[in-house]
Amino acid sequence: MIYLDQFAISNLMFADPKASERRGLNKTIDPFWHQLFGKLTELLGLQIAVCPGSSAHDRESVLSRHHRSLKGTFKSLSLGISFRDFETIKRFQLTEHLRNWLRGQPERIAEIKTHKTRSVVHRDPHVWTDRFLITVNLGQIPGYVEAVKAEREAAHEALSGVFQRWKENPGITWEQWFEEEALDCGPSILKAYLRDLAKFREVHEGILPLTENDAFPTQNQILMTLLLQEIRDAGTTEEQVWQILLEFLHSPSLKIVPFNRIGAALYASVARKAPHQNKLPTKGFFTDVDVISCLLPYCDAMFLDVECWNYLSELKRSGRLPYDARVFSLRNKEEFADYLDELTAKASPAHLQLVRELYGL
């Protein structure tokens, strides 16, 4: 399972002969990307690796004038396999943690294993792919691009305000920033849920107009409904359900839920360095944190931009993150090429013969 960041997909698009032929894309790029495209194509054809897509690929691609070519490239590299959206993955991890917490075994979620990958992807990544991959371009939902841009700007503006606070507190340690970030997960979920309920009440009472967005439950409402049901299924009396839920959302054990642990560690690293930096994280950093925090536990390798690679590499070297996924960027791109070669070399003669028989390679 190899995750390719959006910037890698963008460069691989120009190295993709089919994309160049279909869209007339002509751009001089580093020969490394042509080499990488060839190695990845060989690995995928040999059924040795898969590069799943994600909702981040979809959302970031629509902002590019080459969005159709980008989509074609990451769809072909993913072999039709994609991660579920990040909110779904967070719900999966939180509900599993809640089950273990209710049994008095909250530490078990830290032992996330490869077999759980099937729960967070569309299609089984461990099954060889069909000979044909059929995709359909449904076009863009009206207003979708504008909504993505607005959300991106809002997230960056919010991060800018937090970054200023980080800069003004040079004496706070990484551990202290991590504690603050990680312990805020549950209370933030509760606050967001209460805000959604307040809006629903105002719509119901005619204070706010009814819009199409109000026709469906929010992500926070879905999550809270699932958590409440888990507590009821555990045999809790109705009088105690909310008390148990509030206790869970304020539990220090949420610090080990993978997406929360990784995200808090990344933000703590940025906070610790902020007093010595004037440059804000990039506009895509918020999305990058979602990508890494939600997908790292399920990947064998990730190819990231240099900014995120720096933070993640430092965390792994310090032993602050227990996940085994290899991380690469342009800083160690030759190591990534070697890694792909090692995977190819591990294929047995019997495996290669079966691939030739089934796919005609």
Q: pTM, whole model, 2 decimals?
A: 0.90
Average pLDDT over residues 156-175: 90
The string of pLDDT tens digits covering residues 296-320 is 999 999 999 999 999 999 999 999 9
pLDDT range class, residue 115, cuts 50, 70, 90: very low
pLDDT at 114: 46
Average pLDDT over residues 135-162: 80
According to the 3-state scheme, what is the secondary structure of the chain? CEEECHHHHHHHHHHCHHHHHHHCCCCCCCHHHHHHHHHHHHHHHCCCCCCCECHHHHHHHCCCCCHHHHHHHHHHHHCCCEECCHHHHHHHHHHHHHHHHHCCCHHHHHHCCHHHHHHHEECCCCCCCCCCCCCCCCCCCCCHHHHHHHHHHHHHHHHHHHHHHHHCCCCCCHHHHHHHHHHCHHHHHHHHHHHHHHHHHHHHCCCCCCCHHHHCCCHHHHHHHHHHHHHHHCCCCHHHHHHHHHHHHCCHHHHHCHHHHHHHHHHHHHHHHHHHCCCCCCCCHHHHHHHHHHHHHHCCEEECCHHHHHHHHHHHHCCCCCCCCEEECHHHHHHHHHHHHHHHHCCCHHHHHHHHHHHCC
Average pLDDT over residues 83-106: 92
